[in-house]
Chain A
Amino acid sequence: MHAERRWAALILLALAGLALVPLAVRRDDTLNLIFLILLSVTLAQSWNIIAGYAGQVNLGHAAFFGLGALVTRTLWIGGTPVLVAMLAGAFVAMVFALAIGVAAFRLRGAYFAIGTLALGEILRITTGNIFSEISTLPAATIAAYRLTLRYYLGLGLAALAVVVGATLATSRLGLGITAIREDEDAAEASGVNALGLKLTALAAATVLAALAGGLFAYYHISYYPQHPFSPHWTFDALLITNIGGVGTLHGPVLGAVFYVLLKEYLANRWVDLHLLIFGVFFIVIVLLLPGGLVEAGERVRRLLRSRLRR
């Protein structure tokens, strides 16, 4: 419990440090890279809440990201202030998730994964059919585009994700969710309202994912409206969280930094192979190091401590 709080404080401190970066660095590509990491942190944390805390593998997470993006983009281009648009996107996604959630959470294991995957794809295809044209910002908006604004918004969102994650982990709510993850039937038997807690976790996760989607819509100049619904976003979140350490607070953060930086590096050298490498790396992690980088870190620390003791 206190480990989560310590990590949360550490991460928030790091984020505060990052806030100073735009003052020192003028280069756009550095800011873009950090922005990408921040967006990934938010998205991964949101997936982590459902998977790591509630113990279910959600393969349709991109649906919330996409809904947030869709609503935000539509409202914002129509003239609504972006923050309001993002909140609206979060609200719509949350309502949708809760409506589906009651049904979806009756599914367990494999069927939950299949059901969420189907849902995500339904939304993607339908959006692609209804909004088939590429969405481009009007010229005036492009002219007024300021990267630093997006950057700070990304920072704020990542901080929010960390705070939400930490709160969930350390509260009574968090304990209940952990109990469900360990053994849902036993938890129910001891009075935990499993469905209620799962829905709360779902709401939190959805809001974060949708806000991230809204940020995506605010950040990109042009993209196809179905793109944010693509399963690639789910897969990214899944990869990052598991490589970093599912179920922990700092895992998704570590994973996001690792993933984005490594991807940048690999994309420059071996263009297509970065996914192959990540895929293999991911399999190795699932089989040998399910706790991801966090677990690796713990093992190293324990090893060092036992060495030092001699």
Chain B
Amino acid sequence: MILSQQMVLGVMIGGLYGLAAVGLSLIFGVLKVLNVAHGELIMLGGYGAYWLFVLLGLDPFASLLLVLPLSLLLGLGLYWALFGFVVRADEETRIKNSLLIGFGLSLALHALAVRLWTADERGITTPYAGKVLIVGQLAIPLVRLASLAVAFVLIAALHLLLTRWRWGRAVRATAEDWQAALLAGIDVRRAYLLAFGLGAGLAGAAGTLVSVGYSISPSIGLEWTLKALIVVVLAGLGSVFGTFVGGLFLGVAEAASAAAFGGPYREVVGLVIIFAVLVARPRGLFGAR
């Protein structure tokens, strides 16, 4: 496969990395909580879309309209039952407890998925799955291109929510300084709830897009959590579009390294990059906290 072809494929999956990361970044930035079960939420979103397709014949891009709100509700539930308790402590204890809880959650969700749906890989094959857009020497799979577009639209929508909506601004204010937010009259607990729900909703949406353009299995959780973490470290917190670009960058970097060093090292490059970044700048590339 020629390099430019690989790069194009890298950009397209990079968009999904960006979407996955934005959800995690929102939760981390606002609640100061690291939900390492984020990948499992993506996985669940993927299965949601898959079963809606298999059982009801619902086109995955249409089922986004169902999966997104359902994932959002799941996020609200998880906050209410679990992470809501974690935010009562100071930042350091918060991080530690959220890591542990997220870890337990990922274990439980992974095991549940294996139990319910077996460990087999699945994917959604729509009638238009094989269609390809030919541009010069490049063959661009239409489904993946559409996924990239949808990811971008969702992120733009989030940006609008965070800048134009009163509660979206409240969420951003809470992320910056929760005490000042309280003093401005913002119910910070509600802001947390909203941020967690939005983050989970975006994860579910990402999962849907993964299931249609790529494949899902119960084990993709850890993989996608790592991808999201890599992008968050690279892009820092605070800019939704910046995170999206970070995702694209990771996708392209992986494609380049696969071309240069061969397929098996694709996964390593992102990890090496963030380890290097963290060593050089322990607060992340753009982190100011």
Partner-B contacts on A (CB < 8 A)? 57, 59, 103-104, 106-111, 113-115, 117-119, 121-122, 125-126, 128-129, 231, 235, 238-239, 242, 272-276, 278-283, 286-287, 290
How far is B115's CA from A117's CA once the two chains are assembled, in angstroms? Answer: 26
Q: A117-B229, A118-B226, A122-B272 are in contact. Are A272 and B100 (CB under 8 A)?
A: no
Q: A109-B95, A273-B115 are in contact. Are A114 and B264 (CB under 8 A)?
A: no
How far is B103's CA from A286's CA once the two chains are assembled, in angstroms? Answer: 11
Q: Are B111 and A282 in contact (CB under 8 A)?
A: no
Q: Are B274 and A114 in contact (CB under 8 A)?
A: yes
Task: Map CB proximity to A onto B72-87 as digits: 1 under 8 Å, 0 otherwise.
Answer: 0000000000100100
- Stretch of B137-145, B158-166, B175-183, B276-284 on the interface side: B276-284
Q: Are B96 and A283 in contact (CB under 8 A)?
A: no
Whether a CB of chain A sits under 8 angstroms from the CB of B112 is yes
How far is B275's CA from A122's CA once the two chains are assembled, in angstroms? Answer: 9
Interface residue count on the B side (C-beta < 8 Å): 43
Q: Are A115 and B268 in contact (CB under 8 A)?
A: no
Whether a CB of chain A sits under 8 angstroms from the CB of B28 is yes
Q: Are A278 and B101 in contact (CB under 8 A)?
A: no
Q: A129-B265, A283-B104, A287-B101 are in contact. Are A231 and B222 (CB under 8 A)?
A: yes
Q: A117-B229, A122-B271, A272-B115 are in contact. Are A286 and B101 (CB under 8 A)?
A: yes
CB of A154, distance to nearest CB on chain B (Å)? 26
Q: Are B275 and A238 in contact (CB under 8 A)?
A: no
How far is B274's CA from A109's CA once the two chains are assembled, in angstroms? Answer: 16
**A contact residues around B222 at 8 Å (CB):** 231
CB-contact partner of A57 in B100, B229, B275, B283, under 8 A: B100
How far is B105's CA from A57's CA once the two chains are assembled, in angstroms? Answer: 16
Q: A272-B111, A279-B111 are in contact. Are A111 and B278 (CB under 8 A)?
A: yes
Whether a CB of chain A sits under 8 angstroms from the CB of B107 is yes
Q: Are A110 and B95 in contact (CB under 8 A)?
A: yes
Q: Are A235 and B271 in contact (CB under 8 A)?
A: no
17 cross-chain CB contacts under 8 A: A108-B282, A109-B92, A111-B283, A114-B278, A115-B275, A115-B278, A119-B271, A235-B103, A274-B111, A276-B111, A279-B106, A279-B108, A279-B111, A282-B100, A283-B105, A286-B97, A286-B101
CB-contact partner of B104 in A231, A273, A282, under 8 A: A282
CB of A227, distance to nearest CB on chain B (Å)? 15
Whether a CB of chain A sits under 8 angstroms from the CB of B99 is yes
**A contact residues around B272 at 8 Å (CB):** 118, 122
**A contact residues around B284 at 8 Å (CB):** 111
How far is B99's CA from A110's CA once the two chains are assembled, in angstroms? Answer: 8
CB-contact partner of B282 in A111, A119, A129, A281, under 8 A: A111
Q: A275-B110, A280-B104 are in contact. Are A118 and B265 (CB under 8 A)?
A: no
**A contact residues around B114 at 8 Å (CB):** 272
8 Å CB interface, B109-166 against A: 109-112, 114-115
**A contact residues around B95 at 8 Å (CB):** 109-110, 113
CB of B183, distance to nearest CB on chain A (Å)? 26
**B contact residues around A114 at 8 Å (CB):** 34, 229, 233, 274, 278
**Most chain B beta-carbon neighbours within 10 Å: one of A104, A107, A118, A242:** A118
**B contact residues around A111 at 8 Å (CB):** 233, 278, 282-284
Q: Are A275 and B275 in contact (CB under 8 A)?
A: no
8 Å CB interface, B201-254 against A: 222, 226, 229-230, 233
How far is B105's CA from A239's CA once the two chains are assembled, in angstroms? Answer: 12
**Most chain A beta-carbon neighbours within 10 Å: one of B95, B104, B112, B274:** B104
Q: Are A125 and B267 in contact (CB under 8 A)?
A: yes
Q: Are B100 and A286 in contact (CB under 8 A)?
A: yes
CB of B201, distance to nearest CB on chain A (Å)? 22
**Most chain A beta-carbon neighbours within 10 Å: one of B85, B96, B267:** B96
Q: Are B275 and A118 in contact (CB under 8 A)?
A: yes
How far is B230's CA from A286's CA once the two chains are assembled, in angstroms? Answer: 26
Closest to B272 in A: A122
- 10 nearest interchain CB pairs? A279-B108, A279-B107, A276-B111, A282-B104, A275-B111, A283-B104, A109-B95, A103-B279, A129-B264, A118-B271
**B contact residues around A107 at 8 Å (CB):** 278, 282
How far is B233's CA from A114's CA once the two chains are assembled, in angstroms? Answer: 9
CB-contact partner of B107 in A118, A122, A235, under 8 A: A235
CB of B87, distance to nearest CB on chain A (Å)? 12
CB of A266, distance to nearest CB on chain B (Å)? 11
**Most chain B beta-carbon neighbours within 10 Å: one of A109, A110, A128, A129:** A110
**A contact residues around B96 at 8 Å (CB):** 57, 109
Q: Are B108 and A275 in contact (CB under 8 A)?
A: yes
How far is B111's CA from A279's CA once the two chains are assembled, in angstroms? Answer: 9
**Most chain A beta-carbon neighbours within 10 Å: one of B92, B115, B275, B284:** B275
CB of B277, distance to nearest CB on chain A (Å)? 9
CB of B58, distance to nearest CB on chain A (Å)? 28
CB of B89, distance to nearest CB on chain A (Å)? 11
**A contact residues around B233 at 8 Å (CB):** 111, 114
How far is B100's CA from A80's CA once the two chains are assembled, in angstroms? Answer: 40
**Most chain B beta-carbon neighbours within 10 Å: one of A57, A115, A119, A279:** A279
**A contact residues around B104 at 8 Å (CB):** 278-283, 286
How far is B286's CA from A187's CA once the two chains are assembled, in angstroms? Answer: 29
